[in-house]
Chain A
Amino acid sequence: MNEITKDLLREISDWDGEFKGAYNIREDGQCAGRVSSKNIKIESKKDKPGLEIFIAPGTKGETVSIPACVTHGDVDDLVYNDFFVGENADVIIVAGCGIHTETGEPARHNGIHRFFLGKGSKVKYLEKHIGKGHGTGLRSIDPVTEAELEEDSQLEMDTAQIGGVDRTTRITRAQLGARAKLLIRERILTEKDQNAKTDFKVEMNGKDSGVDLISRSVARDDSHQEYHSVIVGNAPCTGHSECDAIISENGKVDAAPELHARDNDAALIHEAAIGKIAGEQILKLRTLGMTEEEAEATIIDGFLS
Chain B
Amino acid sequence: MLRLENISWSTPDGVGVLNNLDLTVPDGKLIVITGPNGGGKTTLAKIIAGIYRQDGGKIFLNDRDITEADITERAKMGISFAFQQPVRFKGITVRRLIELAAGEKLPLDKICNYMSRVGLCAEEYINREVNSTLSGGEIKRIEIATVLARHSVLTVFDEPEAGIDLWSFTNLIKTFEDIRKNLDGSIIIISHQERILRIADEIAIVADGSIKAQGKPDEMMKLLLENNSVTGKCFKQEEMF
Contact = CB atoms under 8 A, between A and B. Distances in A.
Shortest Cβ-Cβ A-B pairs, 3 listed: A302-B92, A302-B91, A289-B75
A290 B100 contact: yes
23 contacts: A216-B90, A244-B90, A281-B89, A283-B51, A283-B87, A284-B87, A286-B70, A287-B71, A287-B80, A288-B101, A289-B75, A289-B103, A289-B150, A290-B75, A290-B100, A291-B72, A301-B91, A302-B90, A302-B96, A303-B89, A303-B90, A303-B91, A304-B91
A283 B96 contact: no
Contacts of A184: none
A244 B93 CA distance: 18
Interface string A253-292: 0000000000000000000000000101101111111111
Contacts of B233: none
A301 B96 CA distance: 11
Nearest to A284: B87
Contacts of A285: 100
Contacts of B76: 289
The secondary-structure label for the interface of chain B is mixed
Given A288-B75, A289-B72, 19 more contacts: A280-B87, A281-B87, A283-B71, A284-B83, A284-B86, A284-B87, A285-B100, A286-B71, A287-B79, A288-B150, A289-B75, A289-B76, A289-B150, A290-B72, A298-B100, A299-B92, A302-B90, A303-B90, A305-B91
Contact of A298 (B51, B87, B92): B92
Nearest to B92: A302
- Size range of the chain A interface in the assembly: 20 to 34
Contacts of A305: 91
B49 interface: yes
Contact of B49 (A278, A280, A287, A304): A287
B89 A299 contact: yes
B146 interface: yes
A286 B75 contact: yes
A303 B70 CA distance: 26
A286 B76 CA distance: 9
B157 interface: no
- Size range of the chain B interface in the assembly: 20 to 34
Interface of B: 49, 51, 70-72, 75-76, 79-81, 83, 86-87, 89-93, 96, 100-101, 103, 146, 150
Nearest to B82: A287
Nearest to A278: B87
Q: Which of B70, B86, B90 has the most CB of A within 10 A?
A: B90
A301 B89 CA distance: 11
Contacts of A303: 89-91
Nearest to A244: B90
Contacts of A292: 72
Nearest to A187: B91
A291 B70 CA distance: 10
Given A288-B100, A288-B146, A302 B89 contact: yes
A284 B130 CA distance: 13
Contacts of A278: 87
A305 B81 CA distance: 27
Q: Which of B81, B92, B93 has the most CB of A within 10 A?
A: B92
Contacts of B83: 284
Nearest to B156: A287
Contacts of B92: 298-299, 302
Contacts of B101: 288
Contacts of A299: 89, 92
Nearest to A295: B72
Contacts of A288: 75, 100-101, 103, 146, 150
A299 B91 CA distance: 8
Q: Which of A216, A287, A288, A303 has the most CB of B within 10 A?
A: A287
A242 to B, nearest CB: 10
Contact of A286 (B72, B93, B150): B72
Contacts of B91: 216, 301-305
A305 to B, nearest CB: 5
A288 B87 CA distance: 13
Contacts of B96: 302
